[in-house]
Structure 1
Amino acid sequence: MTSAFKDERKETFLNAEGVDKPLKSPVPDSVLAGARRYRLQRLRDQMEIADVAALLLYDPINIRYAFDSSNMGVWTGHNPIRYALILAGGPAIMFEFKGCEHLNDGLPGIDELRNSIGWMFMCAGDRAEERLAAWADEIVGLVTHHVDKGAKIAVDRIEPDGAFALQKRGLTIVDGGQVTELARAIKNEDEIELMRWTIRVCEAGMARIYEHSTPGVTERELWAHLHFENARSGGEWLETKLLTCGPNTNPWYKECSDRECQTGEMIAFDTDMIGPYGYCADLSRSWTCGYTKMNATQSEIYTAARDQIEHNMALIRDGLSFADFNDKSWQIPDRFVPYRYSLAAHGVGMADEWPVIALHPDFEASMGGHFEAGQVICVESLIGAKGTESVKLETQVLVTETGVERLDSFPWEM
């Protein structure tokens, strides 16, 4: 790798003018408005298919998808204190915790705003049972106002006591995961434009990692550059801390540490970045510390990873079944099998999504289904062998009627 190549990445993905500043989205408001309308209607359409009277959402990503309502997504992901209720043929109601109502100002999908009732022990203590009863009475009252008693409602996630309380009051609870995952799986043009911008921000963060991939830098220092670019450009959070170097790359799934990267070692990472507009940029790259030429072993495993990505990406098209994809997919050589990645591909939108397609040695336990135009799919590769480093690569593609369109453009090595 030459310094010119390094400089080209900086100029292309950071800032063409050479000024270090946050990236400002060029996406017009009309695109965001179109995405909001489309997403809520997708949920309503899937509710009709599933024949449910209501959809109760606690997952902050599903709430963001439905209303574009966001409030401390990581914290509320493990503290179930804000929720939404979408009624079939009725209003869409956001339940926000007190003092945060203003965060929902101007969101057109919300027909009614109410204060949430937090009945988890952390906030309710010895009054948890009392608050649980008030919560359940309110939910059941809203549902039965629009449909008959004994209605079937879909719930994405809920604590056991909540499910029991709703059932005790006559509601039938079904898993809302199928409703939300199938709704989120197909993107319209507006969603794709929002995703393109998140990927652009992610690639700026990747360029920053690349720029600082010099001997002596720690894994955590490199990972911080992606956090920095995401945060200052309007992004949300990183789902993982998967950046390692040298021997820490194999086996995979070690998270970044204070280990210093050495000249010539492989640096490998997986972004898992929830960026601007709440969309995920899930990209992986690997390169050598200090921009050195890869040695023979590194070159061999990198070439194999590229072959897997290119081969599998070329297969994907509208209507191709996951079983047919598996049959035709790149077959991982035996020496790499013990260190393989579990997936060949998966859906992505506001986070990792349905479908999840296992790598061929593990496909027997995989799901049925087929690729559809409008899905965004991450095509993955992890290659390593006993005693080697690992190379992690991943690209994000839009499924079309004739094949795929890559949404990321950060260059491969070699």
Structure 2
Amino acid sequence: MSTLKTIHALSDPFAWSPDSSDEVLESVRAYRLGRLREQLVMHECPAIILYDPVNIRYATDTSNMQIWTGRNPTRYVVVFASGPVIAFEFHSCEHVWRGVDCVSEIRSATCWNYFNAGPEAARRAGQWAEEIADLLRTYSTDLCVAADRLDPEGVYALEKLGVRVVDGQAITELARCVKSPEEVSVMRRSIAVCESGIQRMHEALVPGITEQELWAHLHFENIKHGGEWIETRLLASGERTNPWMQECSAKVLREGELLAFDTDLVGPYGYCADISRTWTVGHVRPTDEQRHLYSAAHKQLHFNMDVLRVGMLFSEFSERSWKIPARYARNRYSCVAHGIGLVDEYPSIAHYSDWTSGGYDGRFESGMALCIESYIGDEAGGEGVKLEQQVLLTDAGIEPLSTFPFEKAWL
């Protein structure tokens, strides 16, 4: 058995499943809905309309065609801070709520996007707004509602009825940013599935296949084990690794060139596993330049993991983070670190050089799940190295959640 296989055999990634413990999922559901309601109270907002499929999943643990409904606003949920959860479900899809106890009532969704309503969109938006306003009058003394995502026609229709609409993104992002122990246990399941896909890619990485063929192995393992979807296609080889953010293509892999990827995988139960590694095609000995790039990326990643502490301001972490050498600064990654949960989440920590234009402050809390980022690529060209580690921030420090090994022999 290879060293890589031995590492994963020591901890069977599929030995634990929430299917065998209803208490785990019940605890996760109660915690998440409680967090959302706490934020509604803190923001002095009586209710929120959720259209984002990820936020609906967070509040209710229901899922229905997430990618499709992310483009087509055809299901939504109204959550009251002190009151019911009302679900508005797409045509004949009430069955997705079976076994979910948090919802008080399931109604048919009023769809007023142009695909569904055509020239009747404005009229149907008015009908939709009347129903929302009636709920607010029934369960609240304040005609105010937050919305995580709402097209202008809906805002206009609510305002005509005297309803004040406020942005709900802060409410949902702040609710999602601190994880319960049960949430972390479910997240570990997705990470285990993701790492089984990474191992599959590692074993399939031979010259002559395309980037897309290699990427398909990650999708296969995710779907095979109950995963859901992948947000991006970030896998590149050779000269396509620099600059970063190039999606996989039909390019054929050549022996000895670098291969880098970023999983962005939404696995079982909707939790994201966001892991990056870089290898050589064929797993041959790297060149001196490849080792130099990898060593810098590995140093950046682990330096920043060592710096991070509970209670630290975002700006302090950014200022104290690893100083990127000038030749790599232009092609730096978009952030130093970001939150992770069902998908990428608040906060996103800007590089200190970008702080004036793109930074915002806050404070790190125990229970935050985070992804520490590194990308090293020379602005003059050549190859680049992408590394990323998913971690849990605790009072005792950083606990790695992703365990797939780095190329220690390259350091």
Contact 1:63 1:83 (C-alpha < 8 Å) held by counterparts:
yes
Asked if the contact 1:86/1:92 (under 8 Å) is kept, the reply is yes
Deviation, 1:316, is 1.1
Does 1:255 pair with 2:247? Answer: yes
> C-alpha separation between the residues in 2 aligned to 1:348 and 1:101?
30
- Contact kept, 8 Å, 1:382 with 1:393, in 2: the verdict is yes
How far 1:182 sits from its partner (Å)? 0.4
Tell me what 1:142 maps to.
Answer: 135
- In structure 1, C-alpha distance between the alignment counterparts of 2:26 and 2:195, rounded to whole Å: 25
Instruction: Report SS of the residue matched to 2:337.
Output: strand
Give unmatched runs, 5+ long, in structure 1.
Answer: none
Unpaired segments of 5 or more residues in structure 2? none
Query: 4+ runs of 1 displaced by more than 6 Å?
Result: 14-17
SS at match of 1:195: helix
C-alpha distance in 2 between matches for 1:259 and 1:14: 33
CA drift of 1:11 comes to: 5.0
Aligned-partner Cα distance in 2 for 1:69–1:26:
18
Superposition pairs of residues 132-171 of structure 1, within 5 angstroms: 132-148=125-141, 151-171=143-163
CA displacement at 1:15 relative to structure 2: 9.8
Q: Which residue of 2 aligns with 1:34?
A: 27
Which of residues 3, 11, 14 in structure 2 aligns to 1:8? 3
Distance 2:113 2:16 in 1: 38
Contact kept in structure 2, 1:331 and 1:360, CA below 8 Å: no
Q: Is the 8 A contact 1:10 1:208 kept in 2?
A: no
Is the 1:297–1:388 Cα contact (8 Å) retained in structure 2?
A: no
Pairing partner for 1:392 from 373, 386, 391? 386
Counterpart check, 1:175 vs 2:167: yes
Please list the CA deviations of residues 116-172 of structure 1 after superposition, one character each: whole Å capped at 9, or x if unmatched. Answer: 0111110112322232121111011001112235x2211000110001101111111
Label 1:32 to 1:68 Cα distance change in 2 as closer, same or farther (>3 A): same
For 1:335, the equivalent position in structure 2 comes to 327
Counterpart residue type for residue 230 of structure 1: N
Relative to the length of structure 1, the TM-score reads 0.95
State the secondary structure of the residue aligned to 2:336.
Answer: strand
Match of 2:47? 54
CA distance in 2, matches of 1:83, 1:76: 9
After superposition, where does 1:219-238 map in structure 2 within 5 Å? 219-238=211-230
User: Which residue matches 2:92?
Assistant: 99
CA shift, 1:8, in A, is: 3.0
Aligned to 1:113: 106
Q: What SS does the aligned partner of 1:259 have?
A: coil
Deviation, 1:323, is: 1.4
Cα distance in 1, alignment partners of residues 210 and 166 from structure 2: 47
**Which secondary structure state, in structure 1, belongs to the residue aligned with residue 244 of structure 2?**
coil
1:71 aligns with 2:64: yes
Matches of 2:392 and 2:7, distance apart in 1: 22
Q: Find the counterpart in structure 1 of residue 301 from structure 2.
A: 309
Q: Secondary structure at 1:158's aligned position in 2? A: coil
Cα distance in structure 2, aligned partners of 1:410 and 1:60? 29
Q: How many residue pairs align between the two structures? A: 404
Moved more, 120-129 or 371-380: 120-129
Mapped to 1, the partners of 2:222 and 2:124 lie a distance apart of 38
Counterpart of 1:236, as a letter, is E
Asked if residue 189 in structure 1 is aligned to residue 181 in structure 2, the reply is: yes
Q: Distance in 2 between matches of 1:121 and 1:175?
A: 23
CA distance in 2, matches of 1:339, 1:94: 45
1:409 to 2:403 alignment: yes
- State the AA in 2 paired with 1:285: R
Q: How large is the RMSD of aligned CA atoms in angstroms? A: 1.5
Aligned twin of 2:289: 297
